[in-house]
Amino acid sequence: MANEYNFIGLVNDINRRLNEVELVNDSASNKNFSTATGYYSFAKDSVNAAIRHVNSEEFEWPWNHIETEEVLNVGTVRYSMPYDAKTINMNSFRIKRNAELGNQTIKLKEISYEEYLDKYADYEYNNSGTTQSVPRFVARAPSRELIIFPSPDKQYEVVYEYYGIGFDLDLPTDVPTFPEQYRYVIIDGSMYYVYQFRGDTQAAQLSLQKFQQGIKQLRSLHINRTQYVRDTRVHY
């Protein structure tokens, strides 16, 4: 029977391949997942190392795509980027329709930070009601801040999308962001690290080749796309 698709399940996939005793999620057991040491602790580290490796191979894996919302503060134009953001889709920013505030959905136009400084920087320092309105623009500052302006006159909700850096698994029931059908890629990568730990260089190299081939397949399926040109002219 297949192991569940979670942290303990992935580690036990490794244990099965190496004919090791599988861990359990039971604090009373001497094979408890959370208190595992030695080889078992390294097997856990190997799973996370494989996941980090795959996530570092591309900026925009679809399983790391996140849509988020933020409530704007009246008179505030600078907002921190999400702590886990790898890349932000600057073309995805929109003010969300809100009947209570009386605004429609409005897509924000991206401008460069330099253009913002040249033309609009006074929004940060002029908080008079005459300069506040529904935001129309967004810029990205070098300080990992988002600049949304004009200064909001109400607590509008902004929606945008980004790709996260991924996260390490910790609890035995933690589930990777990877779709389950690609668990074999995680296992092949984990086996590479485990074989290195055991000093089996030949088996490690074979696992590395399978791991790299799996990443190549993921890239072919989810990253390589046929580009096309879209007509953005407005026809009357």
* 158 contacts: CB under 8 Å, gap ≥ 6: 69, 70, 72, 93, 94, 95, 96, 108, 135, 148
**Claim to verify: residue 21 and residue 52 sit in the same structural domain:** yes
The pLDDT assigned to 3 comes to 82
Q: What is the pTM of this model?
A: 0.84
Measure the CA–CA gap between 78 and 65, rounded to whole angstroms. Answer: 23
* 231 contacts: CB under 8 Å, gap ≥ 6: none
**Claim to verify: residue 213 and residue 151 sit in the same structural domain:** no
**Claim to verify: residue 55 and residue 171 sit in the same structural domain:** yes
The pLDDT assigned to 225 comes to 60
**Claim to verify: residue 85 and residue 151 sit in the same structural domain:** yes
**Claim to verify: residue 26 and residue 54 sit in the same structural domain:** yes
Listed residues 133, 155, 177: the one ending a domain: 155
Given a contact cutoff of 8 angstroms between Cβ atoms, the answer to whether 31 and 38 are in contact is no
Q: Give the number of other CB atoms < 10 A from CB of residue 199.
A: 8
Given a contact cutoff of 8 angstroms between Cβ atoms, the answer to whether 47 and 174 are in contact is no
Instruction: Establish if 44 belongs to a structural domain.
Output: yes
The pLDDT assigned to 123 comes to 85
How confident is the prediction along the chain (236 residues), in pLDDT tens digits per residue?
578 999 999 999 999 999 999 999 998 898 999 999 999 999 999 999 999 999 999 999 999 999 999 999 999 999 999 999 999 999 999 999 999 999 999 999 999 999 999 999 888 888 777 789 999 999 999 999 999 999 999 999 999 999 999 999 999 999 999 899 999 999 999 999 999 999 999 999 999 999 999 999 999 999 876 555 555 665 54
The pLDDT assigned to 233 comes to 60
The pLDDT assigned to 223 comes to 86
The pLDDT assigned to 152 comes to 94
Domain holding 116, by residue range, is 73-155
Domain count, the chain: 2
Instruction: Establish if 93 belongs to a structural domain.
Output: yes
How far from the centroid of its chain's Cα atoms is residue 142's Cα?
A: 20
**Claim to verify: residue 184 and residue 205 sit in the same structural domain:** yes
**Claim to verify: residue 98 and residue 119 sit in the same structural domain:** yes
Classify each residue of 83-116 as buried b or exposed e, where b means 16 or more C-beta atoms within 10 Å of its C-beta: eebbebebeebbbeeeeeeeeeebebeebeeeeb
Residue with tokens 């399940």: 9
Measure the CA–CA gap between 204 and 192, rounded to whole angstroms. Answer: 5
pLDDT by residue (tens digit) across 188-235? 999 999 999 999 999 999 999 999 999 999 999 998 765 555 556 655
